Amino acid sequence: MENSNIIIRVATPSDAHYAIAITDEMASSAKARGTGIAKRSPEYVEQKINEGKAVIAVTKDGAWVGFCYIEVWKGEYVANSGLIVAPEYRKSGIAKQIKKRVFDLSREKYPEAKIFGLTTGLAVMKINSELGYEPVTYSELTNDEEFWAGCKSCVNYDILMSKERKNCMCTAMLYDPKDHYEPEETKQFFEENKNIFERMIRFKQWKLLKPFFEKQHSGSGGGAVKSLFRHFFHF
């Protein structure tokens, strides 16, 4: 898709009217995948826009295309969260451009902070690796309770808590400005090992979901878990 008609920039207060469309698409996307994005209200998105902590993509005609925002934890950690692209603009390279702009904005605003992200998707892992992120354990992320509370609206929250916040369906990735590889190195590492990463993601999904599936199979679990299991294993 031709992207010359699309503008990617830091969001301003005049963009607040897009908040409902953005959060509706976040919810719709999470439901369709059966996993992923923590729920956010239009008011929360408006707040990020008004604080200058968001990046938005729009067409020259003013149609909303994509969005991502910054969260800050104790001034030491920054998360680039809520990446979402309107369905008609997906697989066009827009997500990568938004991630790059919000990453640069994070570095401008918080040059000393570690930037991290959680993702269930190989495509986002690829984008992150091109920016210099490395896969890490959950212990290397912020221990701020407010951050982890944001996971409560995710369908995988029970899994996270059952593992004492040490593991979940998401893969953690981190960029440390004081100790990091160059983007060319992390990109090359990902490309050389992407098949292994894909297998690891699938294995982790199976390993973490298995106890919940067995519980459901015995009659004590919920339909959402069964649906999620089917989503990953296609049966």
Nearest to 102 by CA among 7, 8, 5: 8
Query: Residue 234 has what pLDDT?
Result: 34
Query: Residue 190 has what pLDDT?
Result: 82
Class of domain 6-233: alpha beta
Query: Residue 183 has what pLDDT?
Result: 81
Q: Of all helices (H) and strands (E), which one includes residue 73?
A: strand 64-73
The 3-state DSSP class for residue 94 equals helix
Query: Residue 180 has what pLDDT?
Result: 83
CA distance 17 to 83: 18
Query: Residue 40 has what pLDDT?
Result: 87
Q: Of all helices (H) and strands (E), which one includes residue 84?
A: strand 77-85
Query: Residue 53 has what pLDDT?
Result: 97
What the block records as the tokens of 135 is: 């896969």
**Can you give the pTM of this predicted structure?**
0.76
**Residue environment code for 136-157, b if the CB has 16+ CB neighbours within 10 A, otherwise e:** bebeebbeeeebbebbeebbbb
Mean pLDDT by 10 residues, the chain (235 residues): 81 97 90 68 96 97 96 92 93 93 96 91 87 92 90 84 88 90 83 78 64 53 41 34
What the block records as the tokens of 221 is: 């679990």
Query: Residue 43 has what pLDDT?
Result: 97
